[in-house]
Amino acid sequence: MSLFDLRLQEIHNKLHAKELSVTDLVGEAFAAIGERDERIQAYLTLDEAGARAAAARLDNKLVSGEEKGLLFGLPVGIKDNMVTEGLRTTCASQFLSNYNPIYDATSVLKLKQADSVTIGKLNMDEFAMGGSNENSSFQPTRNPWDLSRVPGGSSGGSAAAVAAGEAYFTLGSDTGGSIRQPASYCGVVGLKPTYGRVSRYGLVAFASSLDQIGPVTKNVEDAAYVLQAIAGYDSKDSTSANVEVADYISALTGDIKGLRIAVPKEYLEGIDPKVKETVLEALRVLESLGAVWEEVSLPHTEYAVAAYYLLASSEASSNLSRFDGVRYGVRADHAGNLLDLYHESRSQGFGPEVKRRIMLGTYALSSGYYDAYYLKAQKVRTLIKRDFDQTFEKYDVIIGPTAPTTAFPLGSQVDDPLTMYLNDILTIPVSLAGVPALSVPCGFADGLPVGLQIIGKAFDESTILRTAHAYEVHTEHHKKRPVL
């Protein structure tokens, strides 16, 4: 049994009882990485020297009896689009292959203040653009449950590392499903908080009105602990919401009697029959615990993917204009003039998917097309948000599958962008509405994990955590581990 199979509270009890040291925990992480990561390829950069030094400092803190942080001693991997002081941050792009930040993202800093130990940076789709981790310019990450399949994306490295026991927990970022979809594919818990709940300061922007940082963990309780540590207002982030942070850990009461669940019929149409049956079985479990559920309609769901890719690509084309070969990152050699420098640097630095989205976004924002595409997509986004608002007037949570299928084979969709984009059809509406959602393991289909998506009202992470925890307590799916 791995130390990482223990619950957070069990680890802390062992640390306080001197049955375990932080050095042991960090050693467990690097032993697992050394044994498995050549096959999984979840990490892009490791910081073993820094992690072991931090572990030694925390072990001294343990001996001295100083006050300890909420995540004391836990080894964490960070998605490689969050800046980490002195630790290479690439966004899985050749453009930033030599970038060493001089400061920490707020979420990373909060983890340090909570006494966790950063062990390395995790692979992802380049600039978070993709749903399979195959768009990394360095290496594809593989699903620990089946090495021939994708782990999902863009936070595929974050989910695979937790599933493979290569980190106690990780941070990912979610723009259109990039935490929840890989969590579903890899059989772990992934939480996208409400937009503005966690600071985006230090997160390399893809789509600024959608990006949100969240935890990937083995169980719901750990997700509550991590969210407790990283949530809160940040004056450095203009989109950070100054809303009181709830006590997420106390919310895990296990009591969901009378909980009102909405199940959108659109979320059960056109999905894998085995995924659908697994989700319906999960609803029956929740029903046995006292919850009630009804089928509802979110009528604008069918327009979500089109609206999202117009909006996200438009924001990406703006955000990525800073990568020009002048200020930092790749700089083309022998450019004849300034325009050639821009062209050659961006041609060399960006991969195909990033170029595709920049071109789509630039087109949608261009004169003569703005009203027809970008503005119309914004109006559709409002209609999608209104669907959620109206549903939440009557129901406490919305539940459905996280993804329409289980993890698909590597290479099977990489040349078919439209099919790849449709894998996010169940997660994208949530991102457009800005509300929180969590994916929790709810079973298996053909030996591969299936995720249950629980969606809540804005800033009501407590209810989705309480619902997921109650379900988890009465099932065993989250305890199963891939054989590596």
Residue pLDDT, tens place only, 441-465: 999 999 999 999 999 999 999 999 9
Residue 87 has, within 13 A of its CA and on its CB side, a CA count of 26
- Cβ–Cβ < 8 Å for 160, 40: yes
For 228-247, give one letter per residue: b (16+ CB within 10 A) or e.
Answer: bbbbbebeebeebbeeeebe
**Predicted confidence band at 484 (pLDDT cuts at 50, 70, 90)?**
confident
Asked if 79 is an active-site residue, the reply is yes
Q: Say whether pLDDT at 35 is over 80.
A: yes
- Determine, yes or no, domain membership for 85: yes
In tens, the pLDDT along 149-198 reads 999 999 999 999 999 999 999 999 999 999 999 999 999 999 999 999 99
- Determine, yes or no, domain membership for 191: yes
- Determine, yes or no, domain membership for 407: no
Among candidate residues 21, 132, 136, 154, the one labeled active-site is 154
Q: Say whether pLDDT at 369 is over 80.
A: yes
- In whole angstroms, what separates CA 328 from the centre of its chain? 26
Domain that holds residue 212: 3-257+438-479
Q: Say whether pLDDT at 212 is over 80.
A: yes
- Cβ–Cβ < 8 Å for 464, 278: no
3-state DSSP assignment of residue 123: coil
Q: Say whether pLDDT at 305 is over 90.
A: yes
- Determine, yes or no, domain membership for 236: yes
At residue 413, the pLDDT reads: 87
How many domains, in total, are found in the chain?
1
Could you give the dihedral angle defined by the CA atoms of residues 318, 319, 321 and 327, in that order, rounded to the nearest 10 degrees?
Answer: 150
Range in 125-139, 216-230, 316-330 the model is least confident about? 316-330
Q: Say whether pLDDT at 1 is over 80.
A: no
At residue 176, the pLDDT reads: 97
Range in 260-274, 311-325, 366-380, 405-419 the model is least confident about? 405-419
Q: What is the mean pLDDT of residues 94-104?
A: 95
**Predicted confidence band at 31 (pLDDT cuts at 50, 70, 90)?**
very high
**pLDDT over 70 for what percent of the chain?**
100
Among candidate residues 178, 184, 317, 439, the one labeled active-site is 178
CA distance 166 to 159: 10
- Determine, yes or no, domain membership for 400: no
The overall average pLDDT reported for the chain is 96
- Determine, yes or no, domain membership for 235: yes
Asked if 345 is an active-site residue, the reply is no
In tens, the pLDDT along 329-350 reads 889 988 899 999 999 999 999 9
Joined tokens for residue 46: 């490791």
Among candidate residues 79, 110, 192, 218, the one labeled active-site is 79
**Predicted confidence band at 390 (pLDDT cuts at 50, 70, 90)?**
very high
Asked if 154 is an active-site residue, the reply is yes
- Determine, yes or no, domain membership for 326: no
- Determine, yes or no, domain membership for 284: no
**pLDDT over 90 for what percent of the chain?**
94
Question: Omega into 132 within 30° of 0, i.e. cis?
Answer: no
Which of 231, 190, 225, 232 lies closest to 71, judged by CA? 225
Q: Say whether pLDDT at 96 is over 80.
A: yes
What CATH number is given to the structural domain containing 78?
Answer: 3.90.1300.10
